[in-house]
């Protein structure tokens, strides 16, 4: 994407009522929406997050399927989620928002037990050992997610990375966290939830074209 297109999207994001772009200082200080997202959406419906949402395919796709839930896509790259934010406005989806922020600040963005579900779709697996701290399912991240999830809250990991799938399963078993469902290839093995196969991201389509298996885990980050 050219720099001119990025700048155009950044400016357009500023006009979207469903896009929130706080500074880091605002987030770590006393973020205005933390614990008060029901006021933003003007209802008490469950809140579902998509972390590292990219173009927001899951945020928008799930919002269409579940109008009685609120969906928030989070990514540090606003030029990417511009597409999802614009689509939500064009299709009049009041239960969609996008938040430009770093994922490691997620427990500064939401209050304790404020979130019902978290989706992580096709994250960078950060395969090198020195990058372990950046893996979105490492123990430190799981602790952050547990703070904001309700006691019965669940997480979803969908990835093309066998490494990420195996790493996460191993970590969950080691920590004694419940794995509700796991599938090593959602398109050849039966039983995956409908939204796992019916919603496909831009990158997922590329992976499928070259024959990569898509994996999925549903779990709770607490015992």
Catalytic residue set? 124
Is 128 a known ligand-binding residue?
yes
Is 15 part of any known ligand binding site?
A: no
Please tell me whether 204 is known to bind a ligand: yes
For residue 114 the two structure tokens come to: 């404020």
Rg (CA), the chain: 17
Does 57 belong to an annotated binding site? no
Task: Tell me how far CA of residue 18 lies from CA of 24, 73, 117, 183, 221, in angstroms.
Answer: 19, 10, 20, 34, 29
Query: Is residue 203 marked as binding?
Result: yes
Q: In the block, which residue shows the tokens 């770093």?
A: 102
Q: Is 214 exposed, middle or buried (0-12, 13-18, 19+ CB in 10 A)?
A: buried
Pick from 45, 73, 42: nearest CA to 59: 73
Q: Quick check: 120 and 158 in contact, CB under 8 A?
A: yes
- 169 close to 182: Cβ distance less than 8 angstroms: yes
* Three-state DSSP state, 202: helix
145 is in an annotated binding site: no
The answer to whether the annotation marks 152 as part of a ligand binding site is no
Binding-site entries for substrate: 128, 160, 201-204
Binding-site entries: 50, 75, 124, 128, 160, 201-204
């Amino acid at each position: 994407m050219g720099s001119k297109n990025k700048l155009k999207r950044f400016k357009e994001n500023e006009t979207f009522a469903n896009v929130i772009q706080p500074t880091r200082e605002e987030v770590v200080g006393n973020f205005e929406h933390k614990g008060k997202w029901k006021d933003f959406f003007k209802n008490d419906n469950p809140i579902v997050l998509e972390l590292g949402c990219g173009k927001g395919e899951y945020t928008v796709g799930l919002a269409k399927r579940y109008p009685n839930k609120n969906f928030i896509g989070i990514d540090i790259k606003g030029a990417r989620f511009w597409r999802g934010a614009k689509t939500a406005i064009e299709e009049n989806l009041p239960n969609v928002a996008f938040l430009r922020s770093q994922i490691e600040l997620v427990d500064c963005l939401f209050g304790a037990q404020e979130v019902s579900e978290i989706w992580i779709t096709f994250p960078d697996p950060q395969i090198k050992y020195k990058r372990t701290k950046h893996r979105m399912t490492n123990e430190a991240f799981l602790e952050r997610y547990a703070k904001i999830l309700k006691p019965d809250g669940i997480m979803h990991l969908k990835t093309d990375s066998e490494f990420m799938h195996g790493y996460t399963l191993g970590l969950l078993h080691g920590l004694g966290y419940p794995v509700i469902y796991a599938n090593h290839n959602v398109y050849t093995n039966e039983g995956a939830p409908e939204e796992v196969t019916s919603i496909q991201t831009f990158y997922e389509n590329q992976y499928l074209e070259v024959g990569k298996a898509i994996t999925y885990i549903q779990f709770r980050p607490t015992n």
